Amino acid sequence: MRATMSVVATLGLIVLYLLAVSTGNASRLADYYWDIVALSGVLGMAMLGLIGRQLWQLRQRVRAKVFGAKLTLRMVLMFTLVAVLPGVLVFTVSMQFLNKSIESWFDVHVESGLERGLNLGRNALDYLQRDLEHKARQVATEANGLPPVSLTLKLPALREKLGVSEIAVFDLRGQLLGVAGTPSNGGQVPTAPPAAVFTQIEANQTYRAVETPSRQPMQLRVAVPAYPLAQQGHPVVVQLIQPVPPQIAEDAELVEATRAEYRQLAFSREGLKRFYRLTLGLTLLITLLGAIGLGLYLSDRLSAPLGALAAGTRAVAQGDFSRQHPIYSRDELGMLTAMFNRMTKQLADARAQADASHAELQANNAYLESILVNLSAGVLAFNADDRLTAANTSATRILGVDAATLQPYALTEWAQYAPQLASLVEVIARHRHDESGHDWQVELDFEGAQRHQVLLVRGTRLPEVGSRGYVVVFDDVTDLARAQRDAAWGEVAKRLAHEIRNPLTPIQLSAERLQMKLSSKLSGSDAEMLTRATDTIVKQVAALKGMVDAFRDYARAPTIHLAPLDVSSLIREVLALYESHSAVVATLPPQGPVILGDAALLRQVFHNLLANAQDAVSDAATPLIHLTATAENNAAVIVVEDNGQGFAADILPRAFEPYITNKAKGTGLGLAVVKKIIEEHHGSIHLGHSAAGGARVRVVLPCAEQA
């Protein structure tokens, strides 16, 4: 674009120069006329193409709604209007002035004055010619009848007498017969007269002429006939040459040149008018096109900073604060650009600081979230409107309810969508309005989805400066409470085994001795009464010993000897004891999963489970005990189901506690011992109800590679 504009500007200067040269010298009009027209046409086409391209680009920018395009269009229109109005006015005035000036140049008085001046010069030259002709006749009169030698000798005296520059005598053949004075051609011999001179002399006529030799001043030539004695009646040519006075010659030449130029101008007057009209029109066109092009260029230059600022503003709106625009001027636009650069730098610094703070906050949040995720305790955060704002995965795991589904509802509405949370909601609602800084703690029996749980719930209200909410933290202490109870029962069992077992043997021995000593001395009813009393004492002591042994087994940690065991084979060994009981049905794989365990202790576990199931189906019309063993997720799963009465609702949550049983006979330590053995094998045991309505016991033991 810049190269094109440079070429157009150079071409315009050339055209303007040619126009100036042509208008300054009318004689060059014909020389430069068509060159000027051609160059002007090329210049006009180039400028039209350039401006048309710029206008098309401007139209595209306006249609594309480029920022600053409309402002550029308005400025171009203003520049065009500013150029057109004065240009048209100057063109109109110039045309009127030109027409009147050209017409005034060709006034009749000017032409008549030039003609009279020319006549005056002619009259002066004619006077000099007549005077020189008179002198030539005097020479011819003196030459008539003289011999050639006398004529040659007399010519210098005549030249001096008459005061002429040159006197020469030629015959009709052009031979020089005599000369006086310096030849006018600057040589030694004067130049022979033109052929027209000899023609007129033969006709006995006089020849007069005003000559302007090349590179010589104007001169007068006069030739007359003479009849010397030696020519035998044939005339000779007497030629007199006299230079025209310099002032008269200059005036005559000037008047002649002025008259010729005036006649040429008068002849080309209409063409001159057309040329000047064309000159003014081309100047006006070039000026207008140049103004439009300059307007487009300046408008682009003026609107470019605004477009750059608009692009920068859009970038800032999109979050890009890295735009820095160069400052090309020190005016208001430059100040605005500097202020924009300063603003974007401040925004970039603020954004960097905000990003750093945000990154730090995210790191802190991630750290806090990591803590909450890995925290075994459940955490619930509420706002002032009793709506859940945050919860960790442990809360979902402990409660058995997805905390995200509870966020749309207030705390008091939770029981409608999750009835198992009613007890927890009641506790939280009772303490949620406690004063800030006042912590509360409650141990809660919670009926979970899979089992009965004991939750230790703690809560506190957040400071009012923050969110004005409260936080509730709860732990599943079911296993801890059970472990504490187990430890307590174990201690009780140790003490009972120690305190009760010691007096049992003396009591039994004393009863047996009484029977042995007194049975022979008593008779009849007294002897029977003694026998019944001693038998009762012995039986009850044996029962007490059995209970003490059970307590001892429960309190004593089993000594485990681990070895690879085939679960199916181990269960078949236990089932051999129940072959006479047709109610037992086993579904075992040919080769069961292999575990690491103590065969004796695990036989005790399965024997205890089958014995409990056998007691449970004793009153059933069609007793059924189903035992299955499968491998699931690298673990051996053994399930024992029956169709008895099942576990009572109040016993199921506490079935593994000592002395918890619904059987008429038994100590209630069987399941407690079973659970302890299973846990020593890193397994788990779960109680529930079978599809037939009876009890269902599920034992999970890790396989050998997992163990």
Q: What is the mean pLDDT of residues 74-95?
A: 75
State the sign of the Cα–Cα–Cα–Cα dihedral 659, 660, 666, 669: negative
Greatest mean pLDDT among 329-338, 381-390, 692-701: 692-701
Q: What is the mean pLDDT of residues 119-126?
A: 74
Cα–Cα separations (whole angstroms), residue 431 to 311, 381, 445, 459: 58, 14, 17, 8
What is the amino acid identity at position 100? K
Mean pLDDT of the chain, nearest integer: 75
The Cα–Cα gap between 179 and 189 comes to 8
Cα–Cα separations (whole angstroms), residue 351 to 339, 344, 345, 383, 484: 18, 10, 10, 30, 56
Q: Report the percent of the chain where pLDDT is more than 70.
A: 68
User: What length does the chain have?
Assistant: 707
Q: What is the DSSP letter of 183?
A: -
Q: Residues 366, 370, 375, 380: what is their CA dihedral angle, to the nearest 10 degrees? A: 30
Residue 113 has pLDDT above 70, yes or no: no
Cα–Cα separations (whole angstroms), residue 251 to 125, 248, 308, 659, 707: 11, 5, 73, 160, 141
Q: What is the DSSP letter of 185?
A: T
For the ranges 113-127, 151-165, 486-500, 591-605, which has the lowest average pLDDT?
486-500
The residues, any chain, with a CB within 8 Å of residue 303's CB and separated by 6 or more, are 68, 69, 71, 72, 75
Residue 24 has pLDDT above 60, yes or no: no
> Are 176 and 271 contacting, i.e. CB atoms less than 8 angstroms apart?
no
649-653: list long-range contacts, CB under 8 Å, 24+ apart: 652/452, 652/687, 652/688, 653/451, 653/452
Q: What is the mean pLDDT of residues 225-243?
A: 78
Q: Is the backbone of residue 682 left (phi > 0), alpha (psi -120 to 50) or beta?
A: left
For residue 185, what pLDDT is reported?
A: 66
The residues, any chain, with a CB within 8 Å of residue 616's CB and separated by 6 or more, are 642, 644, 645, 646, 694, 695
403-407: list long-range contacts, CB under 8 Å, 24+ apart: none
Q: What is the mean pLDDT of residues 641-657?
A: 79
The Cα–Cα gap between 261 and 272 comes to 13
For residue 14, what pLDDT is reported?
A: 66
Quote the tokens at residue 266.
């008068």
The residues, any chain, with a CB within 8 Å of residue 441's CB and separated by 6 or more, are 456, 457, 458, 459
For the ranges 299-313, 388-402, 405-419, 608-622, which has the lowest average pLDDT?
299-313
Bridge partners of residue 225, in order along the sequence: 237
Residue 171 has pLDDT above 50, yes or no: yes
The angle subtended at Cα 666 by Cα 664 and Cα 672, nearest 5°, is 125
Helices and strands, number each (H, E), in the chain: 17, 17
Residue 686 has pLDDT above 80, yes or no: yes
Residue 136 has pLDDT above 70, yes or no: yes
Q: What is the mean pLDDT of residues 256-279?
A: 64
Residue with more model confidence, 227 or 273: 227
The alpha-carbon radius of gyration of the chain (Å, integer) is 72
Give the tens place of pLDDT for each residue, 35-45.
Answer: 666 766 676 67
pTM, two decimal places: 0.38
Cα–Cα separations (whole angstroms), residue 102 to 91, 98, 140: 16, 6, 55
Q: What is the mean pLDDT of residues 353-374?
A: 78
Beta-strand runs (E) in 118-250: 166-170, 176-181, 207-211, 219-226, 236-243
Cβ atoms < 10 Å from Cβ of 177: 20
Residue 111 has pLDDT above 70, yes or no: no
For residue 442, what pLDDT is reported?
A: 83
The Cα–Cα gap between 559 and 571 comes to 21
For the ranges 7-21, 337-351, 645-659, which has the lowest average pLDDT?
7-21
118-125: list long-range contacts, CB under 8 Å, 24+ apart: 118/255, 118/256, 118/259, 121/248, 121/251, 121/252, 121/255, 121/256, 122/252, 124/248, 124/252, 125/210, 125/220, 125/244, 125/248, 125/252
> Are 621 and 637 contacting, i.e. CB atoms less than 8 angstroms apart?
no
The Cα–Cα gap between 260 and 247 comes to 20
Residue with more model confidence, 613 or 508: 613
Quote the tokens at residue 684.
């788990």
Q: How confident is the model at residue 321 (pLDDT cuts 50, 70, 90)?
A: low
Residue 22 has pLDDT above 60, yes or no: no
What is the amino acid identity at position 109? H
For residue 35, what pLDDT is reported?
A: 66
> Are 464 and 436 contacting, i.e. CB atoms less than 8 angstroms apart?
yes
Cβ atoms < 10 Å from Cβ of 295: 22
For residue 450, what pLDDT is reported?
A: 59
Q: What is the DSSP letter of 173?
A: T
> Which is nearest to 394 in space by CA: 469, 475, 460?
475
The Cα–Cα gap between 30 and 28 comes to 6
The Cα–Cα gap between 491 and 464 comes to 49
> Are 477 and 454 contacting, i.e. CB atoms less than 8 angstroms apart?
yes
Residue with more model confidence, 256 or 601: 601
Q: What is the mean pLDDT of residues 155-167?
A: 84
For residue 108, what pLDDT is reported?
A: 46
Using CB atoms within 10 A of its CB, is residue 22 exposed (0-12), middle (13-18) or buried (19+)? buried
The residues, any chain, with a CB within 8 Å of residue 94's CB and separated by 6 or more, are 280
For residue 420, what pLDDT is reported?
A: 79
The Cα–Cα gap between 651 and 629 comes to 26
Residue with more model confidence, 67 or 590: 590
For residue 186, what pLDDT is reported?
A: 65
For the ranges 267-276, 298-307, 616-625, 652-661, which has the lowest average pLDDT?
267-276
Q: What is the mean pLDDT of residues 312-339?
A: 70
37-41: list long-range contacts, CB under 8 Å, 24+ apart: 37/278, 39/11, 39/14, 39/15, 40/15, 40/278, 40/282, 40/286
> Are 151 and 228 contacting, i.e. CB atoms less than 8 angstroms apart?
yes
3-state secondary structure of 306: helix
Q: What is the mean pLDDT of residues 60-65?
A: 77
Residue 314 has pLDDT above 60, yes or no: yes
For the ranges 257-266, 429-438, 605-614, 696-705, which has the lowest average pLDDT?
257-266
Residue with more model confidence, 695 or 272: 695
378-382 β-sheet, strand order: 388-391, 378-382, 470-476, 452-461, 440-447
Residue 313 has pLDDT above 70, yes or no: yes
For residue 2, what pLDDT is reported?
A: 57
The Cα–Cα gap between 615 and 636 comes to 26
